[in-house]
Amino acid sequence: MPAVQETVDQVRRIDVDQYKYGFETTISSEKAPKGLSEDTVRFISAKKDEPAWMLEWRLDAYRRWLTMREPQWARVKYGPIDYQDAYYYSAPTNFKAPKSLDDIDPEILKTYEKLGIPLREREALLGIVREPVEGEEGEAPRNRVAVDAVFDSVSVATTFKEELKRAGVIFMPISEALREHPELVRKYLGTVVPVSDNFFATLNAAVFSDGSFVYVPPGVRCPMELSTYFRINEKNTGQFERTLIIADKGAYVSYLEGCTAPTRDENQLHAAVVELIALDDAEIKYSTIQNWYPGDANGKGGVYNFVTKRGDCRGANSKISWTQLETGSAITWKYPSCILRGDGSRGEFYSIAISNGHQQVDSGTKMLHLGKNTTSRIISKGIAAGHSQNTYRGLVSSHRKAKGARNFTNCDSLLIGNKCGAHTVPYIEAKNSSTVFEHEATTSKISEDMLFYCRQRGLTAEEATALVVNGFVKDVLQQLPMEFAVEAQKLISVSLEGSVG
Amino acid sequence: MAELTLMKNAAEQQLAAEWTAAKAKLPGAAPLRAAAFETFAKAGLPHRRVEEWKYTDLRALMREAKPLAVRPDAAAFATLGETDAGLGDLDARRIVIADGYLAPGWTDLNESDPGITIVELMAWLGEADLFRLNSIPDAARKDIAVSLNTAFMTGGVVIHVRKDACIERPIHLAHVFSGKTAAAIYPRSIVIVEPGARLMLIESHEGPDGIDYQANTALQIFAGDGAHVDHVKVTREGDTALHISSLMADVGAHARFNTFGYTTGGGVVRNQLFLRFGGEGTVANIRGATLLKGRQHADTTLVVDHAAAGCQSREVFKSVLDDESRGIFQGKIVVRPGAQKTDAKMASHALMLSDEAEADNKPELEIFADDVQCGHGATAGDLDEDLLFYLRARGIPSAEAEALLIQAFVGEAIEGVEHAGLREALIEAVQAWLKARG
């Protein structure tokens, strides 16, 4: 399609500045000495006031990490990472566990305001009862979301703690959970993603600083959406958070994470680990809106997002559902997986991965069918534009004893422009005859007819593209919690700006 | 951190010893052979950490390397008899390659046909330069099995079809293992089909049960612009044999290229296909049917490289897995930058008849052009209970009903064979396999 003038203008305008979360907040912070050593690990552990077993756990991970090598199999290219040239711990100074939002550095609050995070729950934190807003139900506003906000290495605020406590739900930074509920953390930490699972997970185990911990007791349906916002602020800082969510028998929880980072020339490393555990009849819904800084128009800077996410359907008839919208990061390397261990358990993976500019995405999922009559469903939509490379990589396997395992996979890719690449690498391994696996994948471009139809009706090329793409990803968007679906939709049009022509 | 040092296993050491002993005696192409062996020596045998060989770990499956087969003597050649690869009374021009050497007594070189010349590989090598031999796709050049074949190849034929010639009678390249003790054979053949010409080529591989011989064969096909090539490969090696074959095809513009692989024999079979479409408007059908039982292991690995715009390819692979067998399909469709209007569809289906069977599927898409239609589908499962019930309700005994359904399942891939006689013979082969299953 020949580039029309308006497209050229549009591209020029949004070229570099389209990442609207690229601001930096100036607050003084305390950092661990640069570089990685046993001392760094000890420093972090001491800062967090951790029990001795935790320090041992970390040191063990660090020693194993020294013997490991970075994985090379993904279809991503990047220069060598100097693990000694980064800070592994950064905390806003004078940081004490906040009693109320007043204790929090106003600069940080401003940051979250800019991000549009629903921190109006700060009032709730302060014990102010809000007047019911018009159109909202007075007693229990439906769109309440409890937020845990993580700034660099430290969780700065967790809202709605009291109300959650009444329901019996534990939702707190993992560093706090280590002090208050060590028995729970110790019982489950590292049981889904073992310490030496992979290079980045091991690194995370050694130096993770904070993250969220959720425990939903038996039979409890968590009364609100739980959410964590991650923000890398400091220069040269890696962010390593660890999230652990446990849904006990018959419990239900929906959890959402969002991520942003300032615009920087150098690459920042983000290596998180997320572990989900669903016991009998429990259900966990985990949604991600990942919008780390993707780098500038020439592919300079951006976050390396090397994440290990895994859910364990440990109990019978449990369910874990992953929904992700990936629009940010220079490089994404993540495969949220489900281990379907319990009989009759269910795994789901809904993903939209959008890459533009020089982004590289290598993402997908693993569905490991171990129990009887387990089912899984994978819907993946990849959209590649600009000079980006977008790969779906997934594994579906059934164990000998996984009678009646069932999987349906659909991964579609859309290419916009002729300098990008879209790839599909599924592994389908069936080890018993009662398994039924189906897999289908397509790759195509946006139909000229559809674009023409929209443009005839007065939409610009970009608007038309966004409309078609939104239709393309609708299956997945529908899986996002209401509160975030709208935001996600906007994010898609922002990510694709400048990709037409 | 230091590179992993590869411990050489017994098979690798034996191959190195074979090479040292044989390299001076192997006929022709010395520099190519040396370079290819070097590729092997650096990498060793492929193992499960080598992505392309993930499911067929040669280091584990090939514990030892057998000694290089010697040229059969006249007496051995005389015992070959009529090898028909179970294809019945198919009317074809037969070329027999025994233990990696052309068997002149059983070969119909028929020099009266002006459209085609058939020359022994090493005789041809002597006069021609090596560029054809060395003209292989990148993916194949890195491959260790292809490198080993290049290093050790002992013989085969070069078939040359002249421009616009239509060869009506199929050519049957019959590979046989005739030895009494286990040995390694390395046949290599080259087929050059000039622009506008038409050829039907049948390639068969067979050998006795109970001898764990090793066959590593390679076939290069060059199809010119507008050529029409049909290729059928029948693999019925002995039940303990190791069979690795590599088909490398370079297809020109507006050509038609069809290939079908039928595999029932061999303890471990690896069929590699490296296809490259270098010109616009080519239409290709790539199909395969694999029927396995016992502890057989068969792997089909396919790379379809759409290097030019406007080509269409269809891939259909079916495998039927009984007992403790393992069927593997790895198919990769590559669409190069600029190969717009590519239309590629790949399907692989595995039918599992036993709980101990295993089906591994890896259909890949690698796409660098935006205006394309590409897709793949993969399924694994057992026979549909409803269909079985339907047939049984109509009085068909369950074994027969199963056989009918299996035949229909495989039939979809066999239907693509254009030669009616051959299609019939293949269907009969499937029926025989089903009958033996009981």
Residues contacting residue A223 through CB under 8 Å, at least 6 positions apart: A163, A164, A167, A169
**What is the total count of domains within chain A?**
1
- A435 contacts in chain B (CB < 8 Å): 352, 380-382
What Å distances lie between residue A289 and A201, A329, A481, CA to CA? Answer: 21, 12, 11
Per-residue pLDDT tens over the stretch A195-223: 889 999 999 999 988 888 999 999 999 88
How far apart CA A112 and CA A90 sit, in angstroms, is: 18
CA angle B158, B160, B163 (to 5 degrees): 165
Judged by DSSP in three states, A392 sits in strand
Higher pLDDT, B353 or A10: B353
Task: Give residue B3's pLDDT.
Answer: 44
> Do B281 and B311 meet the contact criterion of CB atoms below 8 Å apart?
yes
Environment class of A82 (CB within 10 Å of its CB; exposed 0-12, middle 13-18, buried 19+): exposed
Residue B315 falls within a domain, yes or no? no
Contact (CB<8Å) A435/B378:
no
Residue B348, number of CB atoms within 10 A of its CB: 28
Indicate if B270 and B146 belong to the same structural domain.
Answer: yes
Residue A501 falls within a domain, yes or no? no
What are the DSSP E strand ranges found in B68-213?
93-98, 101-102, 116-120, 157-161, 171-176, 184-185, 188-193, 198-206
Task: Give residue A236's pLDDT.
Answer: 66
**Is A77's Cβ below 8 Å from some Cβ in B?**
no
Chain A residue at shortest CA distance from B341: A444
B285 to chain A, closest Cα gap in Å: 19
A4 to chain B, closest Cα gap in Å: 19
Instruction: Give residue ranges of B with CB < 8 Å to any A CB.
Output: 1, 51, 337-338, 340, 350, 352-382
Q: Which residue's entry shows tokens 């006689």? A: B421
Contact (CB<8Å) B377/A439:
yes
Task: Give residue B401's pLDDT.
Answer: 94
- A431 contacts in chain B (CB < 8 Å): 358
Which amino acid makes up residue B62? M
Q: Which residue's entry shows tokens 């592919």? A: A299
Alpha helix ranges (H) inside B44-96: 58-61, 74-78
What are the DSSP E strand ranges found in A200-336?
212-216, 225-231, 242-247, 252-260, 267-270, 273-278, 283-290, 302-313, 319-326, 331-334
Give the mean pLDDT of A122-130. Answer: 37
**What is the total count of domains within chain B?**
2
**Whole-structure pTM value:** 0.86
Give the mean pLDDT of A254-278. Answer: 83
Task: Give residue B67's pLDDT.
Answer: 93
Which of these three, B247, B277, B307, is where a domain ends?
B277
Domain, as residue range, for B388: 383-438
Residue A234 pLDDT greater than 90, yes or no: no
Task: Give residue A154's pLDDT.
Answer: 65
Domain, as residue range, for A290: 5-106+113-496
Task: Give residue B215's pLDDT.
Answer: 96
Per-residue pLDDT tens over the stretch B82-137: 556 567 678 888 899 999 999 887 777 766 788 999 999 988 887 666 888 888 98
Indicate if B226 and B103 belong to the same structural domain.
Answer: yes
Task: Give residue A128's pLDDT.
Answer: 35
Which backbone phi and psi does B360 adopt, to 5 degrees?
-120, 130
**Is A401's Cβ below 8 Å from some Cβ in B?**
no
How far apart CA B375 and CA A443 sit, in angstroms, is: 6
Residue A327 falls within a domain, yes or no? yes
Per-residue pLDDT tens over the stretch A366-376: 999 999 999 99
On the CB side of B33, CA atoms within 13 Å amount to 19
Residue B316 falls within a domain, yes or no? no
CA dihedral A151, A154, A156, A158 (to 10 degrees): 110
Task: Give residue A497's pLDDT.
Answer: 65
Per-residue pLDDT tens over the stretch A416-465: 888 889 999 999 999 999 999 999 888 888 888 888 999 999 998 888 88
Residue A281 falls within a domain, yes or no? yes
Residues contacting residue A228 through CB under 8 Å, at least 6 positions apart: A147, A148, A149, A150, A211, A212, A243, A255, A256, A257, A258
How far apart CA A70 and CA A80 sit, in angstroms, is: 10
B379 to chain A, closest Cα gap in Å: 4
How far apart CA A321 and CA A377 sit, in angstroms, is: 9
Per-residue pLDDT tens over the stretch A341-394: 999 999 999 998 988 889 999 999 999 999 999 999 999 999 888 899 999 999
Mean pLDDT of all residues belonging to chain A? 80
Which of these three, B277, B310, B336, is where a domain ends?
B277
- B352 contacts in chain A (CB < 8 Å): 430, 432-433, 435
- Locate A295 and state its tokens: 């780098």
Candidates B358, B360, B386: best to mutate against A (most CBs of A within 10 A) is B358
Which of these three, B277, B303, B337, is where a domain ends?
B277
Residue B73 falls within a domain, yes or no? yes
| Spans of chain B below 50 pLDDT | 1-5
Residue B5 falls within a domain, yes or no? no
**A112 alpha carbon, distance to own chain's centre:** 18
Residue A15 pLDDT greater than 50, yes or no: no
**B133 alpha carbon, distance to own chain's centre:** 18
The confidence band for A106, taking pLDDT boundaries of 50, 70 and 90, is low
Task: Give residue A23's pLDDT.
Answer: 65
How far apart CA B291 and CA A159 sit, in angstroms, is: 61
Per-residue pLDDT tens over the stretch B29-76: 888 999 999 999 999 999 988 999 999 999 999 989 999 999 888 777
Which backbone phi and psi does B346 adopt, to 5 degrees?
-125, 135
Contact (CB<8Å) A428/B378:
yes
Contact (CB<8Å) B363/A439:
yes
